[in-house]
Amino acid sequence: MKRIILITIVIISGVIFSANAQEKKITAAVMDLEAKEGISAGLVSTLSDYFRTQLVNTNEFTMVTRENMQEILKEQKFQLSGCTSKECIVEVGQLLGVRKIFAGSIGKAGATYVLNIKLIDVQSGKIEKATTEECAKCEEDTLLVSVKNITGKITGIGVAEKAEEKQTKPKEVTEKKTAVTKTIVIPTSAERKEVEVSRPMGIAEKNMLAKANQLYEQGKYDDALGAYQELRDKYIDNALAWYGMGAVFYANKMYDKAIDRFQTAIKLDPNLTTAMHWLGNAYEKKGNKQEAAKYRKMALEKDLKTKR
């Protein structure tokens, strides 16, 4: 009898704990991004959904899905089309019964994508925070990194996670994962070059990278590009996935795309000097000697600093 009572207490405690954890989460919704001139509806839909996913991954919000949002507003006979003013957005939040609502836009100024996001408190109607992320001369798929970055900016959670990771990194590397050194073939020759990667990777991630590298080494560039993209889609912050895509584009003399991928790789891992070196090479192929010299010098300085 005592055992049954004890089990019951444990179960009830677990339910209460779970309920409390849910209560601590903030109910929120995301308005689809407003598409400025030159931005397709398909791209806006993809980025809006990806933004929702990133917010869910912070574990701070209970998000209303796109489907539920559409269903609720349809029942209320509310038309979302053209709802871009703060007052209209607040009204949407009230109908959905959420505490916070995210809204924003994506546009393009010349060759630079500009992503704007604002966080609005539904009860007060005030804009609590607003931030911007720019992506210069980048391909559309690179905007996924921009969305991830702006999620960290608008919530402040990304910054906290990085700080925490920096403090606990030695313990994590020792007990859970080990930093790895992977081999990537230099795009223009059969010579191999070791690329030091400080970011720890799990077994599945390492295997995906090894497969992509092998395809590249075999000269199967289309298959290699697909493998690197698959790795990128699953691990958006894997610098070597972006570096690998850059290597494929460089080998195929698609230097603009190579430059974009190498730049993203460096943004994700500022110590990836191999990407800096080949970014310099790509700029030289484009006839931009100033940028070529800049990135080669940057790579050399970081290499010398590492050896000291």
User: Coil, helix or strand for 28?
Assistant: strand
36 lies in some domain? yes
The two beta strands, 34-35 and 100-109, are: parallel
Domain boundary among 120, 155, 190: 155
Which pLDDT does position 5 carry in this prediction? 45
Domain boundary among 155, 189, 218: 155
Tokens of 269: 């891992």
Which pLDDT does position 2 carry in this prediction? 45
Are residues 234 and 136 located together in one domain of the fold?
A: no
Which pLDDT does position 158 carry in this prediction? 55
CB-count burial class (<10 Å; 0-12, 13-18, 19+) for 154:
buried
147 lies in some domain? yes
Tokens of 133: 């992320």
Which pLDDT does position 15 carry in this prediction? 43
Per-residue pLDDT of the chain (308 residues; tens, 9 = 90+): 444 444 444 444 454 444 444 457 899 999 999 998 888 989 989 999 999 999 998 899 999 988 999 899 988 889 888 898 999 999 999 999 999 999 999 998 888 899 999 999 999 999 999 999 998 888 888 888 889 889 989 988 754 333 333 344 433 333 333 333 333 434 443 333 444 445 678 888 888 988 988 888 888 888 889 999 998 888 888 889 899 999 899 888 898 998 999 999 888 888 888 888 888 888 988 899 898 888 888 878 876 766 54
Query: CB atoms < 10 A from the CB of 121, how many?
Result: 15
Give the position of tokens 């584009």. Answer: 249
128 lies in some domain? yes
Residues written for the chain: 308
Nearest-angstrom CA–CA distance, 180 and 182: 6
Domain boundary among 121, 140, 155: 155
Write the CB contacts of 182 (distance below 8 Å, at least 6 apart in sequence).
Answer: 195, 197, 206, 209, 210, 213, 240
Are residues 147 and 209 located together in one domain of the fold?
A: no
Which pLDDT does position 238 carry in this prediction? 87
User: On the CB side of 13, how many CA atoms lie within 13 Å of its CA?
Assistant: 6
Tokens of 214: 């092998």
| Apex 236 CA angle, 229 and 300, nearest 5 | 90
Are residues 212 and 270 located together in one domain of the fold?
A: yes
Enclosing domain of residue 288: 203-306
Which pLDDT does position 305 carry in this prediction? 67
Which pLDDT does position 29 carry in this prediction? 95
* Structural domains in the chain (count): 2
33 lies in some domain? yes
181 lies in some domain? no
71 lies in some domain? yes
Are residues 149 and 240 located together in one domain of the fold?
A: no
52 lies in some domain? yes
Give the position of tokens 């590298």. Answer: 213
Q: In 176-201, which positions are buried (b, 16+ CB within 10 angstroms) versus exposed (e)?
A: eeeebebebbbbeeeeeeebebebbb
